Amino acid sequence: MPTDTFYGYEFQNQIGKGTYPSGFFKEVPVSKMLNENNPRYFKRNLENLIAIAQDRHLSVIVSTFAYHDTILGKYKSSSETEEFRKCIEQHNSVLRQIAKDKNVHLFDFALIFPKNIKYFQRYERFGHEHVDLYHVNEEGAKLKAKLFAEYLVNNELIAVP
């Protein structure tokens, strides 16, 4: 259950309905929220998890997050907003830097996953077709699994029978 300070669903709803910014967001736009809440806790939490894993002599892999980064316009998706893109890019940047700083494997999934809309979910929302530009469909999931498996094999992180 999201906390009282989670406004993500409301942002998605307002974008989908074409009412952004309204209500709370008239006073505090999402861009301001993001500027004041950078991914420092995300970074700290990952560094802590990596330290624990390395202390236990485990291999660590971090992966960036892939999404369809083309503005489609007609789907009214929150993933088509500058705010969404900024968030994902900030987090991906943190992941790349952590991999470098902590000397752990980086699977730069965002760099290699095709930016093809056919790999992403589609459904009806707010009376029109919606394309979810960050959750893959079945075809996208199969490709995602294949790419992750290839990374693991090519980097000798799993034994191949």
Q: Tell me the angle at which helices 40-55 and 82-102 cross, rounded to the nearest 10 degrees.
A: 30
Tokens 């960036």 belong to 64
Q: Which residues of 30-42 are buried (b: 16+ CB within 10 A; e: fewer)?
A: beebbeeeebeee
Give pLDDT, residue 76.
64
Amino acid at residue number 1: M
Nearest to 61 by CA among 96, 34, 27: 96
Give pLDDT, residue 14.
87
Q: What is the DSSP string of 99-133?
A: HHHHT-EEE-HHHHS---GGGEEEEEETTEEEEEE
Domains of the chain: 8-154 (3.40.50.12700)
Q: What is the mean pLDDT of each run of 10 residues along the chain (161 residues)?
A: 78 85 92 90 97 96 89 66 88 98 97 92 78 89 97 91 79
Give pLDDT, residue 13.
84
* Residues 6+ positions from 146 with CB-CB distance below 8 Å: none
Give pLDDT, residue 117.
87
Rg of the chain (C-alpha set): 18
